[in-house]
Amino acid sequence: MTPQELAWNLNTRRIGRTIHAYATTASTMELAHQLAAAGAPDGTVVVAESQSKGRGRLGRFWSSPKGKGIYLSILLRPELSIEQVPLLTLMAAVAAARAVERQTALNPQIKWPNDLLIEERKIAGILTELNAELNRVHYAVLGIGLNVNGKAADLPEGAASLAMASGAPVDRLAMARALLQEMDQLYDDCLKEGFAGVLEAWRGYPGTLGRHVRVTVQGRTIEGQAVELDAGGVLLVREDSGLVTPIAAGDVLVLR
């Protein structure tokens, strides 16, 4: 997809006003960081047809077969504290879920903090990186990988694509536009009104809350029921002992 195709009738306020598109690249995240250092504006989008070194959370590799998915990064320059940055991940997850609902008949779930699921299989992941010092955020980069038309052979075990889940090909360009539009609307709302609306919307996508989970945090394993998100997007887990433990970051496995 070209910048012109993606920008056509986009009608966004910030996100996608500047678009850089590539046939292939190592990582759209790396390019977004380079553009940020060069002064690129808030909402700049970097998109590629394929990535050779797509980045996932916790240093994992994100499979990016050519022309089968949406692989993009968005540069954001919000006035946020470092403590608020994790909320951007939740915002992106809600935007991706809404875009999937707009373009398909599927019902996505969100697994805290960054995975989009269809029937317990991962269809999208979100990565947030930031450039900051002390309590000042210079910029953040949101990376989104969405499996659109890939087949099982194209994807890691436990993953799926929208086409696999729906039984029919999905218009990748229309999906990318919908994703940017939903992201732009939520970002604008958050800048004006804060993140309370995002948190409320996030809770509406079952996938974590109310489920029994196992969380690995710095080598420690915590098991219990995911009961709530706090105002900062931190996951609250009630352990079997009754102790409620806040999880700001960690690897979550949904057990039941």
CATH of the domain at 91: 3.30.930.10
Per-residue pLDDT of the chain (256 residues; tens, 9 = 90+): 888 999 999 999 999 999 999 999 888 999 999 999 999 999 999 999 987 765 655 555 556 667 789 999 999 999 999 889 999 999 999 999 999 999 999 999 999 988 999 999 999 999 999 999 877 899 999 999 999 998 888 888 889 999 999 999 999 999 999 999 999 999 999 999 999 999 999 999 988 999 999 998 888 899 999 999 999 999 999 998 999 999 988 888 898 8
Q: Are residues 232 and 139 part of one domain?
A: no
Alpha-carbon distance 237 to 246, whole Å?
6
- CB atoms inside a 10 Å sphere around CB 85: 19
Q: How many domains does the chain have?
A: 2
Give the residue numbers spanning the domain of 85: 3-203
Q: Are residues 132 and 97 part of one domain?
A: yes
Q: Are residues 176 and 109 part of one domain?
A: yes
Alpha-carbon distance 41 to 32, whole Å?
11
Q: Are residues 130 and 153 part of one domain?
A: yes
What DSSP string describes the chain? Answer: --HHHHHTT---SSTTSSEEEES-BS-HHHHHHHHHHTTPPTT-EEEES-BSS-B-GGG-B----TTTEEEEEEEE-----GGGTHHHHHHHHHHHHHHHHHHSS---EEETTTEEEETTEEEEEEEEEEEEETTEEEEEEEEEEEE-S--GGGS-TTB--HHHHHTS---HHHHHHHHHHHHHHHHHHHHHH-SHHHHHHHHTS-SSTTSEEEEEETTEEEEEEEEEE-TTSPEEEEETTS-EEEESS-EEEE--
The CATH number given to whatever domain includes residue 220 is 2.30.30.100
Alpha-carbon distance 236 to 248, whole Å?
9
pLDDT of residue 59: 56
Cβ neighbors of 150 (< 8 A, separation 6 or more) are 65, 68, 69, 161, 163, 164
Q: Are residues 244 and 176 part of one domain?
A: no
Q: Are residues 183 and 230 part of one domain?
A: no
pTM: 0.93
Q: Are residues 151 and 36 part of one domain?
A: yes
Q: Are residues 221 and 193 part of one domain?
A: no
Alpha-carbon distance 152 to 163, whole Å?
10
